[in-house]
Structure 1
Amino acid sequence: MVLSISVVLITKNAAHSLKACLDSCRFADEVVLVDSGSRDDTIAIANTYGARVIHQDWLGFGPQKQFAVGQARNDWVLCLDADEWLSETLRNEIIGLPRHPQAVAYRFPRCNKFMGRFLRHGEGYPDMSLRLFDRRRARWSDHAVHEYVIADGPVGTLSGDLMHESGEDISVYLAKQNRYTDLQADALFVAGKRVGALKLVSSPLLRFFKFYLVRQGFRDGLPGLVHILIGCFNSFVKYAKLLEKQRLEKKT
């Protein structure tokens, strides 16, 4: 017998991408969609696919996803974002899992689209993502941003790609990154992390060396270069915001 799986999503105004996501998950026993206040056609689309829709005010990425996991009827959950969809290879691998897997969770590569191109190198790939797990042995972290799954047991690896097609233009992407760096700086400050000029300068430089040269981001052409440079700038901005918080703290 095959593994019974609940697909779990968190959404807000995701109508532009939701259909592709749900189309790729028709094999699932159920789809649970936790929405935090969509004003577009997200709920209507979810209803046409027979998804179970639950409203929950925004809790932060980690807590919101863990809340959604708790609403599933099955213990095995596949957590997706509305702008992600399963490649045929990954879908078939998941369908073929036994009812009692040896692993308590599975990770697989995520292929990110940026500036009209699916990135295959650098920071954009393989972007290994742990999204399929037994909720009795794994859970989402409590992080408000850059959340991750914590697994208590062996983790397996699937080879098929999780496709990520956000459809965002650069201005929207940068706005999102600005919010993320706010959250990252806040989390570092609360954790007692402190930064100086050396970290401010060295972090983006080392990031560029790692992703553009070592991991061959140059092979993704201009989109790969832009993606990595924005990532380097984000690293600089994150620590600049932390430095600002440190200085404000000294004045109080």
Structure 2
Amino acid sequence: MLSVIIITKNEASHIGRCLESVAWADEIVVLDSGSEDDTVSICRQYTDKVYETDWPGFGIQKQHALDKANGDWILSVDADEVVTSELRAEIEKAIQQGNCKGYEIPRLSSYCGRQMRHGGWWPDYILRLFRRDCGRFTDSVVHENIIVQGQIGRLRSPLLHDAFVNLDEVLHKVDSYSSLGAEMLYQRGVRSSLGKAVLKGLWTFIRTYWIKAAFLDGRQGLMLSISNAEGAYYKYLKLLELQNRQPR
């Protein structure tokens, strides 16, 4: 039995396509955290296992969704991702054979209308398919991982990811993820300065655009490199702000 788990918040523009692509699964579990659009009503057209709760962070939230699943195998997908028919066939074969306890899946992400093949975005292997009794999520507030006890394999067919549909999404996610990233760094004892924030942003641009060859993805490659640099700059600037808020 395969359970698909998805966490959501205000994903009405994406979630229908995602759910349609996994409608073949034995069970779909959706955990929503206060959507103000039609996300929940759309989800209920595909599954009766839609739960609403608060927001504790990405890792903890995905673990809560995992705890509500009943399948022997778990496929974790995000609301802006799509499972193709080719990937479905590979997943079903992997489950039937049962050679590994978990599988990494290559993710092909799009940025403002273009599927990105460079800039560190491809192949973006992520562990998303695993046996429920062998895996669990880390409790990171952002950039969570799945820890699996046992052998890990790899599938070939990509998971399609609409990472950034337009510039509004780019700006929103840069702001959101830089805030979460700053909080995580602060909790780990990392400290920042204005100079460090500038250097982190500059290095991120150089690494994305030149070293990882985002320039080969044309205009979107340049846009991606700039937004990555902005994300790094603001993350360390917000970390500095967190430091300055603390009493001396």
Q: Judge conservation of contact 2:5–2:30 (CA < 8 Å) in 1.
A: yes
Matched, 1:82 2:42: no
One of 120, 123, 131 as aligned partner of 1:134: 131
Partners of 2:241 and 2:19 lie apart in 1 by: 43
Partners of 1:244 and 1:167 lie apart in 2 by: 27
Partners of 2:103 and 2:123 lie apart in 1 by: 15
Change (3 A) 1:54 1:107: same
Residue 161 of structure 2 is matched in structure 1 by 164
**Correspondences of 1:5-20 after superposition (within 5 Å):** 5-20=2-17
State the one-letter code of the partner of 1:113.
S
Q: CA deviation at 1:137?
A: 1.5
TM-score (norm 1): 0.90
Matched, 1:45 2:42: yes
Residue 110 of structure 2 is matched in structure 1 by 113
Deviates more, 1:116-125 or 1:196-205: 196-205
Moved over 6 A (4+): none
Residue 29 of structure 2 is matched in structure 1 by 32
Change (3 A) 1:150 1:98: closer
Partners of 1:98 and 1:188 lie apart in 2 by: 37
Q: Which runs of 5+ in 1 are unaligned?
A: none
**Correspondences of 1:186-197 after superposition (within 5 Å):** 186-196=183-193
State the one-letter code of the partner of 2:200.
S
Residue 103 of structure 1 is matched in structure 2 by 100
What value does the CA root-mean-square deviation take over the aligned residues?
2.0
State the one-letter code of the partner of 2:13.
H
Change (3 A) 1:158 1:209: same
Q: CA deviation at 1:85?
A: 0.4
State the one-letter code of the partner of 2:222.
L
State the one-letter code of the partner of 2:204.
R
Q: CA deviation at 1:192?
A: 1.0
Residue 216 of structure 2 is matched in structure 1 by 219
State the one-letter code of the partner of 2:213.
Q
Q: Judge conservation of contact 1:123–1:228 (CA < 8 Å) in 2.
A: no
Residue 154 of structure 1 is matched in structure 2 by 151
One of 198, 206, 209 as aligned partner of 1:209: 206
Partners of 2:242 and 2:40 lie apart in 1 by: 40
Q: CA deviation at 1:77?
A: 0.7
Residue 240 of structure 2 is matched in structure 1 by 243
Q: CA deviation at 1:26?
A: 2.5
Q: Which runs of 5+ in 2 are unaligned?
A: none
Q: CA deviation at 1:28?
A: 0.9
Residue 90 of structure 2 is matched in structure 1 by 93
Q: Judge conservation of contact 1:109–1:160 (CA < 8 Å) in 2.
A: yes
Residue 229 of structure 2 is matched in structure 1 by 232
Residue 200 of structure 1 is matched in structure 2 by 197
